[in-house]
Structure 1
Amino acid sequence: MTTRPATRPRSPHFSSGPCAKRPGWTLDALSGAALGRSHRSAAGKAKLRQAIDLTRETLRVPAEYRIGIVPASDTGAVEMAMWTMLGPRTVEVAAWEAFGLEWVTDTLRQLRIDPRIHHAPYGTLPDLSAIDTRRNDVVFTWNGTAAGVRVPDGDWIAADREGLTICDATSAAFAQPLDWPKLDVVTFSWQKVMGGEAAHGMLVLSPRAVARLESHVPPWPLPKVFRLTKGGRLIEGIFSGETINTPSMLAVEDYLDTLRWAQSQGGLDALHARADANARVIHDWVARTPWIANLAVDPATYSNTGVCLVIADADVLAAGDAMVARVATGIVETLAREGVALDIGAYRDAPPGLRIWCGGTVERADLEALTPWLDWAFAQEKATLARAA
């Protein structure tokens, strides 16, 4: 039986959202928040504008792209784009996990558009070459948060496209290179890669997306929180810090803190390197550990943020699906009780297993300390299985 490890991760926070706070974070980081002030005051708007400007600088968003802070996290940002921009062209949706399937539901059942659906099971990508990115509008996730699978690059997207690309990048932004010239709408939330707080989304629009907004009137009703134009023109204030609804200035301050931390680490390249090094710890451990495997099938598509794993032990698999789920749940619950790892269970709609966040706000040393505990927890579950037999 595997020996109980002596070294614990300094932080047990490996949740895939909300994600770990940046190293060294304390409540003191929020001391400069514009609390008790209107978000429309000079002080409030200055904070919001700073969040937009630091986002542009850190993510290297092209100068001609607009960046807005919008309600309802990443989901709100994606749906805002879909409700306001889809309709003029055929829509294609790529879905290989839970969140992509949500965008299929939105187009098919809510907007009642008949999309071309490119579906693949958890762990794989659909055939991206089958998507007509030149003529049609495309909705896709850059990184599958619930599957641990990402698109390897933007080469499959036509440079001379006539349609729009709407990219849900919430678990990719700040961790993976985004091909900005290939993306017309990019969305993400503060609570993912940067470890901020939930409820706020970011909406990044290319000039082509703005042109669609100003030329297209959707045939369905638009609630106030989705309205990006007035009188056929873009509401520019949304992209300079005048939010549609009331934001949390405490959450704004927290996001600003993480952006300053990112710059102190060396900016975007450093964030990418941290995530890559973190994910490598888990992927290397999986490669030498026979009882566990990546949910992602192709190494070229392995995520470096939400790494999703499945039980591969032959004895457990032979005992059936219920036992696989039981063992995975047992590992999650054991490590939570030990205070070693919190919230590492697979997403509720994904195959039973583990999901370990490796984004840049996690320390590599904590992941290195985690893997022996994973082995130990599995050994406890395997021993229980043996006794039951």
Structure 2
Amino acid sequence: MTMTKPGVKPACANFSSGPCAKIPGWTAQSLSNALVGRSHRSGEGKARLKLAIQLTREVLEVPDDYLIGIVPASDTGAVEMAMWSLLGQRPVDMLAWESFGEGWVSDVVKQLKLKDARKLLAAYGELPDLAMVDFNNDVVFTWNGTTSGVRVADGSWIPDDRAGLTICDATSAAFAQNLDFPKLDVVTFSWQKVLGGEGAHGVLILSPRAVQRLESYTPAWPMPKIFRLTSGGKIIAGIFEGETINTPSMLCVEDYIVALEWAKSVGGLAGLMARADANAAVVQRWIDANDFAKNLAKAAATRSNTSVCLTLEGGEAVPKKMAKLLETEKAAFDIGSYRDAPPGLRIWCGATVETSDLEALMPWLDWAYAQATAS
């Protein structure tokens, strides 16, 4: 089938699921206030880090009694810090339905070697049976499966009177989906996802119940320095006031602050979620209009509004050809499915992406599919 190449390209063709598109209008000049060449331990350095924490609380609508800390090694570091510091007192239910959740399962079973870890798994496109979760245990799960495009619909499946802790990797959900904080004892994310920040540090949010566990329980294993959240049996308060465990990039800190200020300008959390919902709707309308495309997430209620994953008829070579064609044409960058996911495309629809750019991309998907399936 021949098809005319579209005449209009997205103004910004960055649809990667991480690092994600920068905020609209971003330039390097946006970072002109970065405290470069200065110590992050100076009064001004700590003030910038503390401002990042304060803005995080404001935009994400984090409860006042939850602690927010900036920690090393992106979301991975934040999740590992939580698991190494908190798990082991109780049995743990490990939920996974895509590669990152599977990674946390592997670390708990093979690295921490917890004997009473129960795995609740589902194939790509589905969720585990949430009714099977035992909340007398600790529970570890991703809110939004970045590599499958499958998310939990809400927090209603988590009881208020749970005995265990809930540890939630929310890296591709925070700032785009309504995290139910009273249901969550640990929340982690990285700057380079929904707000399009640069790498380096992650964010760790702790409920009072998580703090109580930290101060009353000592894991049986040695604790690496960058994972230590307590000293002398008490939480290290400075971590949650802008005193990072290791040296942060103040350029990255400034970039995060700039993104948070932008988030406020578009209506805060409600505005960010509305932008992501509108973006995901553009892609879903395209899927619905084409018999050869399917959303990898089978149930509409569990479809991500950030990392939208789709499969295509014609064999696994088709999406690879499409991604290469679109990159060559500079119509879309980095939209191939994750290496462990089923062959397909993954289109980032988070809040920093302009809806007009996704609308411009859809005709290019038609063109690329026609080219990739031409005999």
Question: Normalising by structure 1, what TM-score?
Answer: 0.95
Q: What's the secondary structure of 1:307's corresponding residue?
A: strand
Q: Deviations over 1:50-84 (max 9, x none)?
A: 00000000000000000000000001000000000
Residue identity (%) = 64
The answer to whether structure 1 residue 143 and structure 2 residue 134 are counterparts is no
State how far apart, in whole Å, the 2-side matches of 1:110 and 1:11 are: 41
State how far apart, in whole Å, the 1-side matches of 2:265 and 2:320 are: 38
Q: After TM superposition, which residue ranges in structure 1, 4 or more long, deviate above 6 angstroms? A: none
The answer to whether structure 1 residue 337 and structure 2 residue 338 are counterparts is no
Aligned to 1:362: 353
1:162 Cα deviation from its structure 2 partner:
1.0
The answer to whether structure 1 residue 98 and structure 2 residue 99 are counterparts is yes
Which amino acid in structure 1 is aligned with residue 360 of structure 2?
A: A
Equivalent runs, 1:302-313 vs 2, <5 Å: 302-311=303-312, 313=313
Q: Deviations over 1:324-382 (max 9, x none)?
A: 22111100000000011000000000001000000000000000000100110110011
What residue ranges of structure 2 are gaps of 5+ in the alignment?
none
Aligned to 1:266: 267
Equivalent runs, 1:285-296 vs 2, <5 Å: 285-296=286-297
Which amino acid in structure 1 is aligned with residue 234 of structure 2?
A: R
State how far apart, in whole Å, the 2-side matches of 1:72 and 1:129 are: 33
State how far apart, in whole Å, the 1-side matches of 2:199 and 2:323 are: 23
State how far apart, in whole Å, the 1-side matches of 2:264 and 2:161 are: 34
1:2 Cα deviation from its structure 2 partner:
2.3
Aligned to 1:279: 280
State how far apart, in whole Å, the 2-side matches of 1:198 and 1:35 are: 16
State how far apart, in whole Å, the 2-side matches of 1:199 and 1:326 are: 34
Aligned to 1:23: 24
Which amino acid in structure 2 is aligned with residue 283 of structure 1?
A: Q
Which amino acid in structure 2 is aligned with residue 381 of structure 1?
A: A
State how far apart, in whole Å, the 2-side matches of 1:174 and 1:8 are: 27
1:132 pairs with 124, 131, 134, which one?
A: 134
2:124 pairs with 122, 125, 136, which one?
A: 122
Q: What's the secondary structure of 1:203's corresponding residue?
A: strand
Which amino acid in structure 2 is aligned with residue 7 of structure 1?
A: V
Equivalent runs, 1:172-321 vs 2, <5 Å: 172-311=173-312, 313=313, 316=314
Aligned to 1:376: 367
Aligned to 1:349: 340
Q: What's the secondary structure of 2:221's corresponding residue?
A: coil
Q: What's the secondary structure of 1:21's corresponding residue?
A: coil
The answer to whether structure 1 residue 61 and structure 2 residue 53 are counterparts is no
RMSD over aligned Cα, in angstroms? 0.6
1:158 Cα deviation from its structure 2 partner:
1.1
What residue ranges of structure 1 are gaps of 5+ in the alignment?
317-323
State how far apart, in whole Å, the 2-side matches of 1:327 and 1:97 are: 22
State how far apart, in whole Å, the 1-side matches of 2:4 and 2:175 are: 37
Q: Deviations over 1:8-53 (max 9, x none)?
A: 1000100000000000001111000000000000110000000000
Q: Deviations over 1:221-240 (max 9, x none)?
A: 11100000000000000000
State how far apart, in whole Å, the 1-side matches of 2:242 and 2:333 are: 35
Q: Deviations over 1:130-180 (max 9, x none)?
A: 0012x1100000000000000001111111011100000000000000000
Q: What's the secondary structure of 1:167's corresponding residue?
A: strand
1:291 Cα deviation from its structure 2 partner:
1.6
Q: What's the secondary structure of 2:316's corresponding residue?
A: helix
Aligned to 1:77: 78
State how far apart, in whole Å, the 1-side matches of 2:153 and 2:94 are: 17
Aligned to 1:89: 90
1:310 Cα deviation from its structure 2 partner:
0.4
State how far apart, in whole Å, the 2-side matches of 1:300 and 1:180 are: 20
State how far apart, in whole Å, the 2-side matches of 1:124 and 1:160 are: 27
Q: What's the secondary structure of 1:44's corresponding residue?
A: helix
Question: Normalising by structure 2, what TM-score?
Answer: 0.99
State how far apart, in whole Å, the 2-side matches of 1:328 and 1:21 are: 25
1:290 Cα deviation from its structure 2 partner:
1.4
Q: What's the secondary structure of 1:219's corresponding residue?
A: coil
Which amino acid in structure 2 is aligned with residue 142 of structure 1?
A: W
State how far apart, in whole Å, the 2-side matches of 1:88 and 1:158 are: 20
